[in-house]
Amino acid sequence: MASQRDLTGELVEEIRAAVAQASPAPSVRPELGRPEEEEVRVTLNRALQYVTPTIPSAVRLSRAKRFLLRALRFLWRDQASFNALMLEAISNLADLLEAHRNARETRFGQFKEELERIEAQLLRLTERAIPEWERRSAIQDARLAILEAGPRSGTTPSASREAGAHAPPPLPAGVYSLFEERFLGSAPATTEKQRSYVPLLRGLPGPVLDIGCGRGELLRLLAQESIPASGVEFNPIAATTCREEGLSVEEGDGIAVLSGKADGSLGGIVALQVVEHWRAEAIFAFLREARRKLAPGGLLIAETVNTDSLSSLKAFFLDPSHVQPVPADALRFLAQAAGFTDTRIEYRAPLPEEERLEENSENDTKLNRLLFGPQDYALIARVPPAREV
């Protein structure tokens, strides 16, 4: 009996050791950071507490010990609990993997949507940039063609005697086109600046003539409104580019082309940033011709640099083809002397607030008006309706 008790005691000690080895004390683990991961770890630790110990074959009296181990199997009555906990842990692990997979798919979907958004944005930017690149390329090609052809005959059109000679830009046409591209603003910016003139040109008693139409920004705006219009441009490169885009533009001197129109045949005449290229006698000749060619109720718009704002004079002197600045009072007087009776001045292109002085006093307001006033002004002159002429 003593031997049997010794064997039983030894077996119990080995069972305890096996259980201790199979279920070691939980070690300190770093936090996983996610509730579902912590739940998996806790469930597995609980399952380890129910691991069934085993007797290796090499130990002394292994057969008898295994017999006693089976006899004492009531100690492992919680095997079902172990199995349930293992299944729960595996299920939680599967849920965790599924959650990770769904999270990856969600992030991938968001990344794909962002890529598609960027691609669409780049496509829109490219679509807007291509016409500008093509126009610049056309200017480069035209400039090279002019340089290769040498001096052009008849590049200086004759103007009326009372206007005097309308001198061409002091730079070759190609060089001046490049100057406009670099310093006078992009075509979209110019388009937005000129858009406010469109309402004034609706419902006029005849077509509109844009003298010095440049790159054709205003003509495109008028075409969108189905307002009949044509242009005159002295620079052959700009005129050719406009015609290639389907705009009705004649190359030549603005005053000469205007003089060739029938009296009263035009509903509107526009000259934006043009009169500063002429001397006073040419400006007066232009205004007289405009008064003759406009039908009753017709409209004249002449925009130029605002000489009352010192900051705007930088733009005037930047352009080497400018002849002289034209004060608003002087241009309005010349228009009235040419026969216009309904005239007014509109100041345009104000500077942004961040480029002006902060107005904390009346003197600040005066300084802003003198130094940082609107950059341009427009003479608006109407021909009286037929019953008033």
In sequence order, the β-bridge partners of residue 272 are: 303
pLDDT at position 164 is 39
The reported pLDDT for the residue numbered 157 is 37
Residue 60 has pLDDT above 90, yes or no: no
Distance of alpha carbon 236 from alpha carbon 315, whole angstroms: 23
Average pLDDT over residues 143-158: 43
Cα 203 off chain centre by: 34
Q: How many CB atoms lie within 10 A of CB 26?
A: 11
CA distance 289 to 35: 86
The predicted pLDDT at position 362 comes to 74
Mean pLDDT of the chain: 75
CA pair distance 230, 249, nearest whole angstrom: 6
**Three-point CA angle 193, 194, 200, nearest 5°:** 135
- State the number of CA atoms in the 13 A half-sphere of 222 facing the CB: 26
Q: What is this structure's pTM?
A: 0.56
Eight-class DSSP state of 355: G
Q: What is the pLDDT at residue 152?
A: 44
Dihedral of the CA atoms 186, 189, 192, 194 (nearest 10)?
A: -60
Compute φ and ψ for 238, nearest 5 degrees: -65, -40
Distance of CA 314 to the CA centre of its chain: 28
Q: Are strands 294-305 and 249-251 parallel, antiparallel or unpaired?
A: unpaired
Amino acid at 373: G
**Least confident residue range of 73-77, 86-90, 193-197:** 73-77
**What are residue 301's DSSP bridge partners?**
270, 380
pLDDT at 30 over 60: no
d(CA 139, CA 181): 10
Residues 383/298, Cβ–Cβ less than 8 Å? yes
- For residue 156, what pLDDT band results from cuts at 50, 70 and 90? very low
pLDDT in tens, 349-373: 877 777 676 777 777 677 667 667 6
Kindly give, in sequence order, each residue whose CB lies less than 8 Å from that of residue 197, ignoring residues fewer than 6 positions away. Answer: 218, 221, 270, 272, 301, 378
Which pLDDT value is given to residue 16? 62
Indicate whether 149 pLDDT > 80: no
As beta bridge partners, residue 346 has: 378
Angle at 328 between CA 325 and CA 334, to 5 degrees: 95
pLDDT level of residue 94 (50, 70, 90 thresholds)? confident
